[in-house]
Structure 1
C-alpha cells in the first residue's frame, strides 16, 4: 500500500457530512471560529472556505484558485452586513507548485491579502501544527458555509460538525483509480482540533470526498503539518516582497 503522508482520511461521527458540504450540521455560535474565512471567487460567484493563519495570509485548498478573490472575515451570516465583517481583496494567489488539478495532490494554497486583517474579537488567526504534533485522540470539527440540507439549499450562516480522526487510514492521492467529488461551499476550510494547551489548531484542509477505507463517506483532508516548511518559507518570501 502506498502512503502519502500529506493526505489523511477522517470518518465523521455524523452521516450528514458528505464531501465538503456541512450537511445537517448545527449552526455555529456566532464568532466562535474567528479564524474562518469566506472566499468569494470570480464573476461566477463560486465560494470556498479558508482560514486566517497570519494577519496577511489565508490558507485554503488549491483547487479553489481563480482570479479576483475577495476574502470575507468576521462573518457569521454572509448575507448580512454585520459590523464585525471585513472584506479584503487578495493581492497574490500562491498554490503549491506541485498541485495537480486532476488528482488533487498537494491541494494547498496561500492567499496574500492586499492589506492586513484587523484582529478583533471576531477576526483572529488559528495556529498550524508542526510536523511532530499528535492529534490522534483529539476532538476535531469542521465548519463552513456550504449546503445546509441534503436538498441542496444554500446556506448563509456558518455551520459546524464534529469528526473522528482516524490516522490509521491513509489513501494514496496520486492513484489513477481515485474517485473524488468536489462540492461548492466548504472546500478549503480547516479541520480544527484542540491540541497544545487546548488551543484550536488547523490540522487539515478540506479537499474532497472519496470512496476508501471501507467507508463511502470518507473525506480527504490535506495534512497541514506536512507543508510547514513551505508555508513558513512562502509567508517569509511574500512578506518581504
Structure 2
C-alpha cells in the first residue's frame, strides 16, 4: 500500500524540464476561457521544477495537496498560459500534521504567501466547503495545467478544465476523499487543483489509479473534513480573540 501510494502521488506531480512540447492538458479537457477561473494558482519548485496546481482561498493563503510540498515553492496567480508567468511569490508551506507520503489520507496543505496578492478581475478567491453544508452537487469540474493523457508526457501550457461526476463514496475507498471515474479527469501535473462543484471548492486533486476494468479512478481530499484545521491556521485563536475584543471596544466607544 505505501509503495503504491507513493507512486500514484508522483504520477500527479509534473516535472517541467526544458524542451518538451506543450499540448492541451487535463485528460478529455477543454481550454478554459482565459482568466475565467481567477482562483487558480500555478505552483512550481525553483530547484526541482516540479509543478502542481492550487487555488486561492484568501489574499494570503493558497490551498493545495500536501504531497506537493517541496523546499523552494513559488506560486503564480492570474495565470492562463504558463509561457507568460508573472513574478512568483514565495510561500511558507503548512502541510497537515498527520500527512505522510506512506498513506493517501490528510493530503491537504496551505501555502502562506509572504506577500499577499491584491484581488482583481484576474485574481480572485474561491469559496471552499465547510461542514455546515454537506450537500454536494454531483456535477463537478476539475481545472489544471496537467497532462492530456494518463500515460504520455503531454503537459499543458494553457489552463484546461473538464466536467466530471462524483461517484458514491462507498466506492471511493478512503474515508476522507471524494472520487470520480472514467476517461476524463485530472492527470499528472494536476495535483493540488480544485474539484469545483456548484461553484464551491469541494475537493483537492490527490491521487489516481487504474481499476481492474481499466476505468480511471481519481480521488480528491474532501475539504469540509479539514475546515476546522484550515480555520485554525488562517484565523489562529489569538487573532480571533483580538478581533472579538476590537469589535467590543468599537461598540463601547
Superposition TM-score, scaled by structure 1 size = 0.77
Are the aligned partners of 2:138 and 2:166 in contact in 1 as well (CA < 8 Å)?
Answer: yes
- What is the DSSP-based 3-state SS (H/G/I as helix, E as strand, rest coil) of the residue aligned with 1:186? coil
In proportion to residue count, which structure has more helix?
A: 2
**Match runs of 1:17-28 below 5 Å:** 22-28=26-32
Moved more, 200-209 or 128-137: 128-137
Are the aligned partners of 2:93 and 2:111 in contact in 1 as well (CA < 8 Å)?
Answer: yes
- What is the DSSP-based 3-state SS (H/G/I as helix, E as strand, rest coil) of the residue aligned with 1:22? coil
| 2:228 matched residue in structure 1 | 229
Superposition TM-score, scaled by structure 2 size = 0.74
| 1:164 matched residue in structure 2 | 165
Are the aligned partners of 1:86 and 1:117 in contact in 2 as well (CA < 8 Å)?
Answer: no
TM-align CA RMSD:
2.6
How far off is 1:185 after superposition?
1.1
Q: Structure 1: which 5+ residue stretches go unaligned?
A: 1-17, 175-181, 195-199
1:36–1:238 distance in 2 versus 1, CA, 3 Å: farther
Structure 1 residue 61 corresponds to structure 2 residue 65: yes
| 1:88 matched residue in structure 2 | 89
- Looking at structure 2, the residues matched to 213 and 26 of structure 1 have their Cα atoms a distance apart, in angstroms, of 27
| 2:34 matched residue in structure 1 | 30
Aligned to 1:41, which of 40, 45, 51? 45
In proportion to residue count, which structure has more strand?
A: 1
How far off is 1:73 after superposition?
0.4
Query: Would you say how many aligned residue pairs link Structure 1 and Structure 2?
Result: 207
Are the aligned partners of 1:35 and 1:125 in contact in 2 as well (CA < 8 Å)?
Answer: yes
- Looking at structure 1, the residues matched to 126 and 34 of structure 2 have their Cα atoms a distance apart, in angstroms, of 17
Are the aligned partners of 1:46 and 1:184 in contact in 2 as well (CA < 8 Å)?
Answer: no
Q: Which is greater in Rg?
A: 2
1:80–1:235 distance in 2 versus 1, CA, 3 Å: same
**Match runs of 1:14-163 below 5 Å:** 22-81=26-85, 85=86, 87-90=88-91, 92-149=92-149, 151-163=152-164
How far off is 1:210 after superposition?
2.7
Are the aligned partners of 2:26 and 2:187 in contact in 1 as well (CA < 8 Å)?
Answer: no
- Looking at structure 2, the residues matched to 164 and 26 of structure 1 have their Cα atoms a distance apart, in angstroms, of 16
